[in-house]
Structure 1
């Protein structure tokens, strides 16, 4: 008997990164998606059976409850598999960087910098790189702080990290050349009103301005390589470096953008002061409560989701989305509307997010799970609500001494972030006040 016959969908295999651009990889993504959509149909059938038993007997059979939960957990695993396959397949082909075609398109200065950087990474010879950066008057690097990676490698690292970091993928992103980014905003505008054609005008007051600042904090990763790997001319150093740092950067960013305290890291949106939405004020994030500690409301649980949507002003709802972790999404997957339609719907194509009440759902494992007084769900326009600032330049410092026989590469980038529009984001608190 197959896994699906037992009520648990089969989980697809993960994809070898080396196969991401092949035709079999494309088929694997499609097959995993078809399997996931079939599993969701099995989940709906099992959940409908559970709801029918509750309606008839006021309680569901233990076997049925267990079946629903097993399929639900399997759905989560299958969804993760589909996401990983889609991400791997969509990932840019890093191996092309430095190849003949790309190299031919580089201007002589960039080609010279790339060659010098490759020589520094492989052999530790920094003279040419130091001369080039001194010639370019680079203030962002020095022998003690490392050297800037080629622009193409930096763009590749940023693209790969953007794909893997859920909040970065939906937030506003701005590149800066200074240590911090300052954004002015109006705390009170000039006086205004209606007047007749011949009536006197009251002189308007000047607008009151303030500013918010997003400092760029240093984020580092330290991949290690063997001398054999560095001596192998067939190894693409740009590809190796980008692949080694992407996971570390994405994981650290994902955590900081949600829960960071702003000390030596970006400030996450959940670290700002929170207040009941009826008492909202600038500088705080408004929240709605479920009225049931650690759970959704006992009756009409989906109504609170509609209230959360309409707590956001219309101007921000057009590009709004839900943000939650996998466990919260698993609980919501069982909700139905008055017509019996499921509120949560899977993405119809690989790489597209699922939807809840027709709004996209972004899955962030750094969001808290449902618990008493936890703000486990966020909703709003994150592109206008949360800003990420990237200081230009990724630096690499070669260290062949600290961990012999390995060569360490202390790789750093500067990233900041914080809420820039407190009206655009709202939270759902699983509590009573």
Structure 2
């Protein structure tokens, strides 16, 4: 069956008509059923002989790759389907400014854009285009889809947070009342830094009357912005970029303290425990307090997800389950799973799996406005569009995210 799936997959991933989404999802589910059947054979051989046939292992790896390919195609189809027109054909209040912006992008005419200029000669893109960029970023960025997002007008966002509440206690009616400790409040700061993209176009392309310049800019920069942002939100060191949550100090969950992320160990260097591989995942789930757990999400890359797909619980049920619809998410132990390629591969002491309420645990800060500077000189015959936005990010609640450490 694997052979019959893979050619169709290559064709559909290359060019997927919108009407084929349901058929693609059906093929994805068929592939998953074969994956389970093959993995059951592998587990049976491991139990009987202590090792599995190499051909069976190879088939399982190919099926894993097929599932990943289908998922990527489904994600792409969902983004394409969700992409709205910038103005839906309706007249809007900013039509005059949009026309002037279009003239600036196409021919460099600036006189009508004075209200949107900045001291460096750049110009704010129309609100509809800025909103479109944000929508597309949310659709294709795994972190933006699950984290808290705040839009600000200043360069730094400050957020006060209560680390510990006021001390309280029971007391008798006539007993003396001793003074209690007050609550502890911490202030978290989220500076915004500049993120840029520089798409290029020929003047002939820009002169084409059919070109919607706002849509074109949004499509050109959104993928570049999303890729760079996601890397920073996960791995960023905070130097001219957001602070990633994996850059935070970590500590064993039993010794957790504020300003550190708690970890649960698998008990085996560079892998899951051979005897009870799922136990560490269960421990990670229940390391999270109930208030966070009800909105929690798994975060890992596709190679780690491929390893997790093979795991079963004590009753023989697969812990990983596919999405129930083409635009849905896979789940692990009943919690939704989001794939992020910037998460580390499984290795010795790697932090390859995160679990938490990211909407409360990580905050993305967007400064209002996206700027564009037209440069027809630096790369003739191309016109460059230096497009910038300011974004920041960091952990907003250190108790809302837990990490799985692949070590003892």
TM-score for the superposition, normalised by structure 1: 0.90
Match of 2:112 among 112, 128, 133: 128
Q: Deviations over 1:147-189 (max 9, x none)?
A: 1111111000100011111011100000000001001123444
Match of 1:308 among 271, 274, 284: 284
Residue 120 (structure 2) pairs with residue 144 (structure 1):
yes
> 1:16: Cα distance to partner?
7.8
Q: Name the residue aligned to 1:89.
A: 81
Q: Name the residue aligned to 1:117.
A: 101
Residue 213 (structure 2) pairs with residue 237 (structure 1):
yes
Match of 2:253 among 254, 260, 277: 277
Q: Name the residue aligned to 2:241.
A: 265
1: CA distance, partners of 2:37 / 2:164: 55
Q: Name the residue aligned to 1:361.
A: 337
Residues 288 and 65 of structure 1: CA distance in aligned 2, closer, same or farther (over 3 Å):
same
Match of 1:179 among 155, 161, 169: 155
Q: Name the residue aligned to 2:391.
A: 415
Residues 316 and 187 of structure 1: CA distance in aligned 2, closer, same or farther (over 3 Å):
closer
Match of 2:178 among 180, 202, 205: 202
2: CA distance, partners of 1:193 / 1:75: 55
Runs of 4 or more off by more than 3 Å in structure 1? 2-5, 7-10, 12-17, 187-191, 197-208
Q: Deviations over 1:251-295 (max 9, x none)?
A: 001100100001101100000001111111100101011111101
| SS of alignment partner, residue 411 of structure 1 | strand
| SS of alignment partner, residue 167 of structure 1 | coil
1: CA distance, partners of 2:119 / 2:62: 56
2: CA distance, partners of 1:73 / 1:337: 23
| SS of alignment partner, residue 368 of structure 1 | coil
> 1:36: Cα distance to partner?
0.7
Residues 51 and 9 of structure 1: CA distance in aligned 2, closer, same or farther (over 3 Å):
farther
The answer as to whether partners of 2:13 and 2:69 remain within 8 angstroms in 1 is no
> 1:304: Cα distance to partner?
0.8
Gaps spanning 5+ residues in structure 2: where?
none
For structure 1, which segment, 296-305 or 46-55, has the greater mean C-alpha deviation from structure 2 after superposition?
A: 46-55
2: CA distance, partners of 1:98 / 1:303: 51
Q: Name the residue aligned to 1:33.
A: 25
Match of 1:424 among 388, 397, 400: 400
Gaps spanning 5+ residues in structure 1: where?
134-140
Residues 231 and 97 of structure 1: CA distance in aligned 2, closer, same or farther (over 3 Å):
same
Q: Name the residue aligned to 1:46.
A: 38
Q: Name the residue aligned to 2:200.
A: 224
| SS of alignment partner, residue 166 of structure 1 | coil
Q: Deviations over 1:222-269 (max 9, x none)?
A: 011111111112111111110110110010011001000011011000
| SS of alignment partner, residue 402 of structure 1 | strand
> 1:12: Cα distance to partner?
5.0
The answer as to whether partners of 1:274 and 1:285 remain within 8 angstroms in 2 is yes
TM-score for the superposition, normalised by structure 2: 0.95
> 1:87: Cα distance to partner?
2.2
Residue 143 (structure 2) pairs with residue 167 (structure 1):
yes
Q: Deviations over 1:286-331 (max 9, x none)?
A: 1011111101011110111000000000100001011000000000
1: CA distance, partners of 2:176 / 2:236: 52
Q: Name the residue aligned to 1:11.
A: 9
| SS of alignment partner, residue 54 of structure 1 | helix
Q: Name the residue aligned to 1:136.
A: none
Residues 51 and 98 of structure 1: CA distance in aligned 2, closer, same or farther (over 3 Å):
closer
> 1:203: Cα distance to partner?
4.1
Q: CA RMSD in A?
A: 1.9
Q: Deviations over 1:8-58 (max 9, x none)?
A: 6841534688x8xxxx51x31111111110001111111111122222222
> 1:358: Cα distance to partner?
0.6
| SS of alignment partner, residue 401 of structure 1 | strand
